[in-house]
Chains A and B, each alone.
Chain A
Amino acid sequence: MLTETQAWDVLHAVPDPEIPVISVTELGIVREVHARDGGLHIVVTPTYSGCPATEVIAQSIRDALVAAGAGEVDVETRLAPAWTTAWITEPAKEKLRAYGIAPPSGDAAVGGAQPIRFVPRKLACPRCGSTDTTRLSQFGSTACKALYRCQSCLEPFEYFKPI
């Protein structure tokens, strides 16, 4: 059996399958941990609706806790409140930058009247820090990221979009 504190410690070490430098807790998708008779009840809020990693994440949470001796683990998926990049912890944002992904900054895409001829924000390159960057695509290798290029060091990089 694990206490709730021990369970959180185990989860802090479970990496996100897409971005292994940050953990599932740093990403903010583990919302609650409850110890119950003979096991644990975990509440998870997925990131994007179509994120292919959602099922892998639930499985790796289960596997890690069971391996640590948690007994029976059930993972509940909760939709509301919807996941937001504001739940990514500050240390995790630094880890993202060090990994080469510009962390989320500024506001999410706004509703109602969209700005016409939307000009993407100038982001700092996570490699050299230059703000002379351009957006290549609003969607990168996954829906949560956009693709940018740095004009100074000429390296492409991804930007974790705020939602």
Chain B
Amino acid sequence: MTTTPAHIEYVTRLGDNALILGQRMSEWCGHAPVLEEDMALANMSLDLIGQARMLLTHAGKLEGKGRDEDQLAFLRTEMHYRNLTLCELPNVDFGRTMVRNFLFASLQVLLWERLLASSDTELAAIAAKSLKEARYHAQHAGDWVVRLGDGTAESHERAQAALDYLWPYTAEFFAANPTDEAIAAAGIGPAWSELEAAWEAVVVPVLNEATLTVPARTPFKSYGKFGRHSEHLGHLLSEMQYLQRTYPGAQW
């Protein structure tokens, strides 16, 4: 298989999604509402960072310029990141964190299932491993979305506000540019049009059970996966990359 720029771009997006959400979720360490959820969030964050390590290592090999996982994670600036905007948004509260995890993990489960059949065998191997983890993440977050949405007046209100805020960013999951078309044509990944209906079929029944109102689609568009990010990514990177920027090449 000859490596195309689209292939590198696609694997980088998958790695960046895992890395940036993993970093965001790790901010809860020591701050979650209860100890059990503090541990759950830290563990899921570790799963995502582990997935990011495999994906970025793979992207670096595909690129063939000698960049490893660390160089890709710590030495790129915002415009070179390809994560979904949803992953970089601030946590704000536990409700928004759980709604985001649910929307994202539900996508990941479906995506990893399809990537088991990727023509990129390394990516298929990473998918098989990540799928097992994503299923537990989706179950954990889905459980909380129902508990919060169908909970007290306060938890319902905050879960609904979180859903209203995050929902417009999910349109980006299914946006396609020539990269996505090349990936689908090469059998590396699924077409997003097929995934959108499958994702809604999983997500909407849970939101209904949670007594939450699914917002209508709006013309709002975000473009993180095409390299145009919100203001939040730069702040996240400045913290995540601080050590390598201050002491270039530091190892321990």
Binding-face segment, B5-13, B46-54, B79-87, B217-225: B46-54
Min CB–CB distance B164 → chain A (angstroms): 21
Does B139 contact A138, Cβ atoms closer than 8 Å?
A: yes
**Is B209 an interface residue, CB under 8 A from the partner?**
yes
Q: List 5 A-B contacts (CB under 8 A).
A: A52-B46, A79-B129, A143-B43, A143-B44, A143-B133
Does B130 contact A49, Cβ atoms closer than 8 Å?
A: yes
Does A139 contact B43, Cβ atoms closer than 8 Å?
A: yes
Interface string of A108-126 (1 = CB under 8 A from B): 1111111011100000000
Interface size class of B (residues with CB under 8 A): 35 or more
**Is B113 an interface residue, CB under 8 A from the partner?**
yes
Interface string of B121-163 (1 = CB under 8 A from A): 1101110111111011011101100100000000000000000
**Is A82 an interface residue, CB under 8 A from the partner?**
yes
Residues of chain B lying within 8 A (CB to CB) of residue A68: none
Within 8 A of A (CB), among B16-68: 36-37, 39-40, 43-51, 53-54
Residues of chain B lying within 8 A (CB to CB) of residue A59: none
**Is A137 an interface residue, CB under 8 A from the partner?**
yes
Q: Given B37, B122, B146, B202, which contacts A113 in the complex, CB threshold below 8 Å?
A: B202
Min CB–CB distance B158 → chain A (angstroms): 20
Q: Given A50, A83, A114, A139, which contacts B50 in the complex, CB threshold below 8 Å?
A: A50
Given contacts A82-B128, A111-B135, A116-B146, contact A51 B40 (CB under 8 A): no
Q: Which residue of B lies closest to A80 (CB)?
A: B125
Min CB–CB distance B16 → chain A (angstroms): 15
Does A140 contact B124, Cβ atoms closer than 8 Å?
A: no
Q: Which residues of B contact A (CB under 8 A)?
A: 36-37, 39-40, 43-51, 53-54, 109-110, 113, 121-122, 124-126, 128-133, 135-136, 138-140, 142-143, 146, 201-202, 205-206, 209
Q: Given B43, B128, B130, B202, which contacts A142 in the complex, CB threshold below 8 Å?
A: B43
Complex Cα distance A80/B125, Å?
5
Does A140 contact B39, Cβ atoms closer than 8 Å?
A: yes
Within 8 A of B (CB), among A88-143: 108-114, 116-118, 136-143
**Is A48 an interface residue, CB under 8 A from the partner?**
yes
The 10 closest A-B pairs by CB, nearest first: A49-B50, A50-B46, A50-B50, A137-B36, A80-B125, A139-B40, A109-B135, A79-B125, A143-B43, A82-B128
Residues of chain B lying within 8 A (CB to CB) of residue A66: none
Complex Cα distance A121/B113, Å?
25
Q: Given A109, A140, A142, which contacts B139 in the complex, CB threshold below 8 Å?
A: A109
**Is A62 an interface residue, CB under 8 A from the partner?**
no
Does A109 contact B136, Cβ atoms closer than 8 Å?
A: yes
Interface size class of A (residues with CB under 8 A): 20 to 34
Given contacts A114-B202, A137-B40, A161-B136, contact A50 B128 (CB under 8 A): no
Within 8 A of B (CB), among A134-163: 136-143, 147, 161, 163
Does B37 contact A143, Cβ atoms closer than 8 Å?
A: no
Q: Given B39, B129, B140, B206, which contacts A49 in the complex, CB threshold below 8 Å?
A: B129
Given contacts A111-B131, A147-B36, contact A138 B136 (CB under 8 A): yes
Q: Which residue of B lies closest to A140 (CB)?
A: B39
Does A143 contact B46, Cβ atoms closer than 8 Å?
A: yes
Q: Given A52, A82, A116, A136, which contacts B132 in the complex, CB threshold below 8 Å?
A: A82
**Is A38 an interface residue, CB under 8 A from the partner?**
no
Residues of chain A lying within 8 A (CB to CB) of residue B128: 79-82
Does B51 contact A49, Cβ atoms closer than 8 Å?
A: yes
Given contacts A49-B51, A143-B47, contact A138 B40 (CB under 8 A): yes
Does A139 contact B54, Cβ atoms closer than 8 Å?
A: no
Complex Cα distance A83/B36, Å?
26
Min CB–CB distance A141 → chain B (angstroms): 7
